[in-house]
Amino acid sequence: MKTTVFLGALTVAGLAAGAAGAATLDDVKARGTLNCGVSTGLVGFAAPDDNGEWSGFDVSLCRAVAAAVLGDPTAVEFVPTTGKTRFTALASGEVDMLARNTTWTFSRDVDLKFTFTGVNYYDGQGFMVPKALGVSSAKELDGATVCIQTGTTTELNLADFFRVNNMSYEPVPIETNAEAQQQFLASACDVYTTDASGLAATRATFETPGDFIILPEIISKEPLGPLVRHGDDEWGDIVTWTLNALVAAEELGVTSANAKDMASAATDNPEINRLLGTEGSLGEMLGLGNDWALMAITAGGNYGEIFEKNIGENTPIGLARGLNAQYTDGGLLYTPPFR
Amino acid sequence: MTTLSDPPAESFKLSMLVYDTRYRAITFQIIALIAFLTLVGWLANNTIQNLADLGKEPSFGFMFEPAGYDINQRLIDYSSQSSHLRAAFVGLLNTLLVAVLGCITATIVGVIVGVLRLSGNWLIARLMTVYVEMFRNVPVLMWIVLCMAILIESLPAPSAFRGDDPASTMKLFDSVAITNRGVYVPEPLFARGLGDISVFGAFDISLDLIAILLVLGGSIFVSRRIGKKADATQEATGIRPRTWHIRTGVLLLPVIVLLGLLGFHFGYPELKGFNFAGGTHMRNSLIALWLALSLYTAAFIAEIVRAGILAISSGQSEAAAALGLRSNRIMSLVILPQALRVIIPPLISQYLNLTKNSSLAIAVGYMDITGTLMGITLNQTGRELETVLLGMLVYLAISLSISSVMNLYNNRVKLVER
């Protein structure tokens, strides 16, 4: 281990140390905090408030995992990562998991050696333009200047979209969302493109959100989800099933308000009992306490609660559930059974 | 009687490697070299082994796969279907472009500021001091971001040029458009161009450009011959014949005739759709980076120039003044040539610094080699080790070439001692 840490410091920011520390769960327990990679600041998904307290949709997932593993939703060290630094941070072991609007793609899963542990937001790439431009469709964007965060899947989709539609564009590559926003608001680019949820979140922070429209075309599938390093299946299972527990809790009607009551005594729904640990030993199978799901759910609520609180229609970001509704409501959220 | 015999030939014993001072120094150096190479080998082997354990054996095959992303500023043909290698090359050219532009501007500004800082005029000297201290003491990244922010926020968007009563108009007889996306200037076009010649199928070189350069080179050669002839006449007769009008004619006429034959004209930028089209587009990212790097490095060069000038004894300028030279000629003919041998060695470092600092380009979205190879390619392929190694090699190569060229120049101007 010592040699590998030394090597890591010398060469590739400790790529090797990550491989040596395969038992992430033990590391996290020994450390007492979960290192969670998040975005550098995207309101609604992950952003620090005035007191430096992180909150948001992705942040809630980090807190839920910390609660499930350590019993404390505040035992999280948030590591802000950019589109460029995120994978190195995860591969090198600087973070235990990444919850950062990251699209699940074949090459990231297979070639970059990461394991995606589910989808917490079904998204697609969209375009935002000022209303004054008078554009109503992405097909009218020939010759436009497009601001884009570099190193993302959106960069590749954008190139494909314009090439397939025989249109030209001028890409303005930007490192972070904040810089892209500055250029876009100063009209240094006509269009800002990223995941539609990110566009909505960015627009919500504008002084006059009404002056901008998000074009109807969604040009790609962007299943966003948390990911962990390849090769540590136990840890991957924990993140997967914590996310599943939050989704299942919504489906089963377990909320942050009633979860404790439901867990105090067995209910007449056996799946709720297994989820909350009053029946069976699902928690032990994961190497956690039997109340792991209860802790995760009470940390920030079930999936629906987290959604409504951070990015839902009553927030400035105002995203409809859409694809992210439960399968019972015509959405795509469908967890494997807890049994 | 005794006979003299040769002293017995000393046989070589292994212990002499340590105890004999003739061999000891070499022994230790060889041991140190072996130890060092072992360490390097162990590190490399360990890295490869650990990457292999992660399932990511080092390989450079990805460089030949399609890159998939677009680059806005490209000096050679490139599309999103080109390979990562070509993308890296585009980035390399962009790095070189900003480095060359930056070094030239920084030298000009630096020399002027350095000389003015020694000016007898109190106000000018103090103003130059303020400039130097301002730029020397604030990180270059902030100057880059500041330049970009000023360009973006203070200049009009292309939409301001639209409509019957636009808020902004194009400058210089409607030929230059200054917007917050960059500056659009007229581009030279040829109605009867000679076309391009493809070099190894990798990039094209304009035949027009080659023709113009050839003609210009010939003109300069002829012009110098005329100058030499004038020198000889002056040497022989003491009277210098008037040649400037002939030399100007020789320099200009052939090029003008060639341009006329090629159908030279300007392509003006005009508003088209969202942006200006036509003309040459100098992006704000390039301008901001160029400006910030030049001004920042110029502050250091100014100090080097000042130190070089102060190193020349004041007797030199007094002697030159006694010969009746004016002060600007004293500076250019007596002081600066002598100061150069003090100035050039640290100047090389400043050129290297400027080139390396250009890797901060991504802060303003300029796609240099750090942005393409060590940025997007790294990110899309996840090959950190390979891309970073390649990037380091490229910067090493650039830096070594700059310093070897500058050292050649240094050898030419340094004081020849007899």
- A160 contacts B272? CB cut-off 8 A: no
Are both A112 and A231 inside the same structural domain? yes
Are both A111 and A39 inside the same structural domain? yes
Residue of A2, A3, A15 for testing the chain B interface, max B β-carbons within 10 Å = A15
pLDDT at A279: 87
Are both A240 and A111 inside the same structural domain? yes
Percent of chain A topping pLDDT 90? 49
Q: What residues in A contact B87, CB-CB < 8 Å? A: none
The one-letter amino acid code at B230 reads A
A–B CB contacts, 8 A cutoff, strictly below: 146
- Beta carbons within 10 angstroms of residue A41's beta carbon: 16
Q: Is A11 part of any domain? A: no
Rounded to whole angstroms, the Cα distance separating A274 from A169 reads 54
Q: Is A31 part of any domain? A: yes
- A188 contacts B70? CB cut-off 8 A: no
In angstroms, the separation between the Cα of residue B269 and the nearest Cα of chain A is: 14
Q: Are strands A227-229 and A114-116 parallel, antiparallel or unpaired?
A: antiparallel
Percent of chain B topping pLDDT 90? 39
Which residue, among A147, A214, A211, has the nearest Cα to A183 in the 3D structure? A147
The contacts of residue A278 (CB under 8 Å, 6+ apart) are: A263, A265, A266, A267
* Residue B371 in tokens: 């942005």
Rounded to whole angstroms, the Cα distance separating A55 from A70 reads 19
Pick from A144-148, B162-166, B264-268 the range whose average pLDDT is largest.
A144-148
* Alpha carbon B54 to chain centroid, angstroms: 40
- B385 contacts A173? CB cut-off 8 A: no
Which residue, among A192, A251, A19, has the nearest Cα to B52 in the 3D structure? A19
Rounded to whole angstroms, the Cα distance separating A39 from A79 reads 8
Q: Is A338 part of any domain? A: no
Q: What residues in A contact B55, CB-CB < 8 Å? A: 113, 230
User: What are the pLDDT digits (tens) for A224-233?
Assistant: 999 999 888 9
- Nearest-5° angle of CA A190, CA A318, CA A246? 125
The contacts of residue B205 (CB under 8 Å, 6+ apart) are: B196, B197, B199
- A12 contacts B388? CB cut-off 8 A: yes
Residue ranges with strand state E in B14-67: none
Which chain A residue is nearest to residue B382, measuring alpha carbons? A112
Rounded to whole angstroms, the Cα distance separating A22 from A36 reads 17
Nearest 5°: phi and psi at B66? -60, 140
- Nearest-5° angle of CA A328, CA A332, CA A337? 70
Domain final position from A161, A191, A221: A221
DSSP string across A99-116: -SS-B--HHHHHTS-EEE
Are both A135 and A254 inside the same structural domain? no
Mean pLDDT of chain B: 87
In sequence order, what are the beta bridge partners of B205?
B197
* Residue A156 in tokens: 């590749």
Are both A137 and A117 inside the same structural domain? no
Are both A257 and A271 inside the same structural domain? yes
Which chain B residue is nearest to residue A171, measuring alpha carbons? B72
DSSP string across B82-147: SBHHHHHHHHHHHHHHHHHHHHHHHHHHHHHHHHHTT-S-HHHHHHHHHHHHHHHTS-HHHHHHHH
Taking only residues 281 to 310 of chain B, the set having a beta carbon closer than 8 angstroms to any beta carbon of chain A reads 284-285
Q: What residues in A contact B157, CB-CB < 8 Å? A: 186-188
Q: How confident is the model at residue B202 (pLDDT cuts 50, 70, 90)?
A: low
In angstroms, the separation between the Cα of residue B9 and the nearest Cα of chain A is: 50
Q: Are B75 and B367 in contact (CB under 8 A)?
A: no
Which residue, among B343, B370, B366, B372, has the nearest Cα to B356 in the 3D structure? B370
- B284 contacts A158? CB cut-off 8 A: no
Percent of chain B topping pLDDT 70? 96
pLDDT at A75: 93
- B363 contacts A16? CB cut-off 8 A: no
Q: Does A145 touch chain B (CB under 8 A)?
A: yes
Q: Is A136 part of any domain? A: yes
Is residue B196 scored above 80 in pLDDT?
Answer: no
Could you tell me the sign of the dihedral formed by the alpha carbons of A321, A322, A325, A330, in that order? positive
* Residue B172 in tokens: 């210089």
Mean pLDDT of chain A: 87
* Alpha carbon A90 to chain centroid, angstroms: 14
Are both A199 and A257 inside the same structural domain? no
- B72 contacts A172? CB cut-off 8 A: yes
- Beta carbons within 10 angstroms of residue A336's beta carbon: 9
pLDDT at A147: 92
Is residue A56 scored above 50 in pLDDT?
Answer: yes
Residue A118 region by backbone torsions, left for phi larger than 0, else alpha for psi between -120 and 50, else beta: left
Taking only residues 223 to 282 of chain A, the set having a beta carbon closer than 8 angstroms to any beta carbon of chain B reads 230-231
ipTM value: 0.75
Could you tell me the sign of the dihedral formed by the alpha carbons of A249, A40, B380, A149, in that order? positive
User: What are the pLDDT digits (tens) for A155-188?
Assistant: 899 999 999 999 999 899 887 788 888 889 988 8
In angstroms, the separation between the Cα of residue B73 and the nearest Cα of chain A is: 9
DSSP code of residue A328: G
Q: Is A15 part of any domain? A: no
Q: Are strands A47-48 and A191-195 parallel, antiparallel or unpaired?
A: unpaired
Q: Is A315 part of any domain? A: yes
Is residue B255 scored above 90 in pLDDT?
Answer: no
Q: How confident is the model at residue B418 (pLDDT cuts 50, 70, 90)?
A: low
The whole-number average pLDDT for the span B271-289 is 86
Are both A61 and A203 inside the same structural domain? no
DSSP code of residue B364: G
Domain final position from A194, A221, A248: A221
The contacts of residue A49 (CB under 8 Å, 6+ apart) are: A55
Are both A232 and A116 inside the same structural domain? yes
Q: Does A144 touch chain B (CB under 8 A)?
A: yes
Q: How confident is the model at residue B92 (pLDDT cuts 50, 70, 90)?
A: very high
Rounded to whole angstroms, the Cα distance separating B85 from B63 reads 5
Rounded to whole angstroms, the Cα distance separating B69 from B381 reads 12
In angstroms, the separation between the Cα of residue A170 and the nearest Cα of chain B is: 6
CA R_g for chain B: 30
In angstroms, the separation between the Cα of residue B48 and the nearest Cα of chain A is: 10
Is residue B107 scored above 90 in pLDDT?
Answer: yes
Domain containing A298 equals 23-122+224-329
- A160 contacts B80? CB cut-off 8 A: yes
- Nearest-5° angle of CA A155, CA A157, CA A159? 70
Burial code of A266-275, b = ≥16 C-beta within 10 A, e = fewer?
Answer: ebeeeebbbb
Q: How confident is the model at residue B244 (pLDDT cuts 50, 70, 90)?
A: confident
Are both A186 and A276 inside the same structural domain? no
pLDDT at B201: 65
Q: Which of A88, A91, A145 is closest, CB to CB, to B274?
A: A145
Q: Is A172 part of any domain? A: yes
Taking only residues 127 to 166 of chain B, the set having a beta carbon closer than 8 angstroms to any beta carbon of chain A reads 149, 152-153, 157-159
Residue of B48, B65, B69 for testing the chain A interface, max A β-carbons within 10 Å = B69
User: What are the pLDDT digits (tens) for B123-162?
Assistant: 999 999 999 999 999 999 999 999 999 998 888 888 788 7
Q: Which residue has the tokens 């159908």?
A: B263
The whole-number average pLDDT for the span A7-33 is 64
Q: Are strands A169-174 and A144-149 parallel, antiparallel or unpaired?
A: parallel
Q: What residues in B contact A189, CB-CB < 8 Å? A: 181
Helix/strand number for chain B, H first, E second:
15, 9
Of B17 and B149, the structure prediction assigns the larger pLDDT to: B149
In angstroms, the separation between the Cα of residue B274 and the nearest Cα of chain A is: 5
- A132 contacts B362? CB cut-off 8 A: no
Are both A102 and A242 inside the same structural domain? yes
In angstroms, the separation between the Cα of residue B376 and the nearest Cα of chain A is: 5
Q: What residues in B contact A231, CB-CB < 8 Å? A: 54
Q: Does A170 touch chain B (CB under 8 A)?
A: yes
Q: Is A18 part of any domain? A: no
Rounded to whole angstroms, the Cα distance separating B295 from A11 reads 34
pLDDT at A1: 43
Q: Does A16 touch chain B (CB under 8 A)?
A: yes
Instruction: Specify the CATH number for the domain of residue A160.
Output: 3.40.190.10
The whole-number average pLDDT for the span A121-148 is 91
Q: Does B367 touch chain A (CB under 8 A)?
A: yes
Which residue, among A259, A261, A264, A247, has the nearest Cα to A307 in the 3D structure? A247
Which chain A residue is nearest to residue B50, measuring alpha carbons? A16
Q: What residues in A contact B159, CB-CB < 8 Å? A: 132-133, 187
Q: Does B53 touch chain A (CB under 8 A)?
A: yes
Q: End-to-end alpha-carbon separation of chain A, Å? A: 38
Q: What residues in B contact A150, CB-CB < 8 Å? A: 362, 365, 371, 375-376, 379
Are both A150 and A284 inside the same structural domain? no
- Nearest-5° angle of CA B54, CA B60, CA B63? 125
Rounded to whole angstroms, the Cα distance separating B175 from A301 reads 61
Q: Are A227 and A95 in contact (CB under 8 A)?
A: no
In angstroms, the separation between the Cα of residue B352 and the nearest Cα of chain A is: 24
Q: What residues in A contact B54, CB-CB < 8 Å? A: 15-16, 18-19, 91, 113, 230-231
How many folded domains does chain A comprise?
2
pLDDT at A20: 44
The contacts of residue A105 (CB under 8 Å, 6+ apart) are: A153
Q: Looking at B267-383, list the stretches that DSSP marks H as alpha helix, in order from N- to C-terminal side.
A: 284-310, 314-322, 327-329, 336-357, 369-371, 378-381
Q: What residues in B contact A230, CB-CB < 8 Å? A: 54-55
Q: Does A3 touch chain B (CB under 8 A)?
A: yes
